[in-house]
Amino acid sequence: MQALNNNFADFMHIFTRVNTRLSTGRNIQHSGHRLIKDYKAATAVKTGYTRASGFSGAMIAEKRSNRIIVVVFGGKSTKTRNAQMIKLAELGFGELQK
């Protein structure tokens, strides 16, 4: 995510989308991007699923001018993956405050 931010900043808006309107007019909500709505510190999210690794995701989060990157592999569901990503982000921000 940091490499994308550094090298392709013009495309970072793709990872902040909550939904997409297709050419047919149909709206699609991106399940991983619920983090953008549910976790105020999330500024960019990319999620995915494969049978081998389960539900995975990468997130950039910002609080009080601190930016961290969280990466999670092996989630059992989107709900558990998202909860783990938020938990790790909050742990990271907590460590930065020490």
CATH number for position 6: 3.40.710.10
> What is the rounded average pLDDT of the residues 61-65?
94
Whole-number Å distance between alpha carbons of 72 and 55: 8
Mean pLDDT of the chain: 84
pLDDT the model gives residue 67? 93
Which structural domain, as residue segments, surrounds residue 58?
Answer: 2-96
Residue with tokens 């990503």: 85
Q: Which of 3-17, 30-44, 83-97 has the highest mean pLDDT?
A: 83-97
> How far is 58 from 71, CA to CA, in rounded Å?
4
6 vs 36, which has greater pLDDT? 36
Give the model's confidence band at 59: pLDDT under 50 very low, under 70 low, under 90 confident, else very high. Answer: very high
Q: Which of 28, 93, 33 is nearest to 57 (CA)?
A: 33
- Supply φ then ψ for residue 95, to 5 degrees: -65, -35
Coil, helix or strand for 8?
coil
18 — alpha (psi -120 to 50), left (phi > 0) or beta? alpha
pTM score > 0.75 for this model? no
- Give the torsion sign (CA, 61, 95, 53, 3): positive
* Domains in the chain, number: 1
Residue 11 has pLDDT above 90, yes or no: no
